[in-house]
Structure formats: C-alpha cells, structure tokens
Amino acid sequence: MAGRHSARATAHWAGLGVLALMTACQGSPVLASFDGALEQRPRMAGEGTEQAVIVRRLTELRPGQSCDRAMSHASLSNQYWRVERLRGLRVTPLAEAPGDVFLILRGDQGGYVANAGCGRYTGSYQVSGTSIAFDAPARRTDCPAALRDRQQTLLDILAAVRTWAIQGQVLELFDATGLSLAALEAVYLH
C-alpha cells in the first residue's frame, strides 16, 4: 500500500514538474513550476527511448528559489502547510480572505489548525505510518457566502483523508481509494 502512494506522490511531483532554472542575465536561481508528465520518447542520440519531462503549461516562476529546498523533504508535523490544491483545483486568493488557506499540524499535542479564510478550526489528528485521520474540528464558524464553499470543502477533505505522502516540500492527502484530495506546500516562517 505504501508503494502505491509513493508512486502516486512521485507522479504528482513530476506532474507539478518542479524544475530549477538559472537565469542567464542575473545568474540567480528561479524555481519554475509547470503542469506536465513523464513520457517515453525517442533518444536524442542513439536508438531506443528514454523517459522525458513533457511541459504542457508553465504555472509559476519563483525568483530566488532553487531545487535545494524543493528536493529536501519536509516533516509532516510541527509544520505550516499552505494549501495549493483542493480536489485538483488550484486554491486562489479571494478578496474576502486575502491570506493563505492553511493547515498547521502540531506534533507533540497531535492537534491541527485549519483555515480557509473563515476563522480557524482546531481539532486532533492521529498518524500511524502513512495512515492519517483527522477528527472533526472543535467548533464551527458561520462563514460569509463567498467563503462557505471553500471552508466546507477543506473540512470535507479533512474528514475523508486516510493516507498521506510527502515528496520534497509537497504534502499530498489521499482518500481510502488512493485518490488525491489535496496538495499542500511546506512554508517556513522566519
């Protein structure tokens, strides 16, 4: 079972396609994210095929970042996780809630804090290997209409999550069938 999720996380990582580029004019690193896939293609030289990264769409450039951070592995707990995707859809800022949609996992207490722009929700979680379960939050807040759907989606996903995998700085949460429900990026506060 762990192998299945590791392969999924690896495919997801390749799909995010994090690639470090060096800008020629300034010589500083730029981290480029793109949607793409790993595919078998004919070799440039010689016979046969080789695996190649196929870029379908450039999604983001982050000047000053490099693969060093992206390729190190974040820890699950004692971590601030910014939610990047929910059910495959990119999370974008809303005028009503300009901050991050986030999940903080506290290690010692086994507690979490979640926020999708409409108050903070707290609860507990349990981890055993690659299995994870989130308890329902201790309190629920009424949300303005513009934020209600996003907040409910985040809470529904936490209720459905059964396993997790980390590849680099990306935490992926899966349901019982292995379907990816959310992708989160580790954020290090200074």
User: Concatenated DSSP letters for the chain?
Assistant: -HHHHHHHHHHHHHHHT-EEEE-TTT--EEEEEEEEEEEEEE-SSSSSEEEEEEEEEEEEEEET--HHHHHSPPPSSSEEEEEEEETTEEP--BTTB-S--EEEE-TTT-EEEEESSS--EEEEEEEETTEEEEPPPS------HHHHHHHHHHHHHHHH--EEEEETTEEEEE-TTS-EEEEEEEE---
Regarding pTM above 0.75, the answer is no
Per-residue pLDDT tens digits of the chain, which is 190 residues long: 333 333 344 444 444 444 444 333 456 777 777 777 788 889 988 899 988 888 887 776 767 666 665 566 889 999 999 999 999 999 988 877 778 899 999 986 789 999 988 888 899 999 999 999 999 887 667 778 778 888 889 999 999 999 999 988 899 999 999 999 999 999 976 5
* Structural domains of the chain in order of their starting residue, each with its CATH number: 2-70 (no CATH), 74-187 (2.40.128.270)
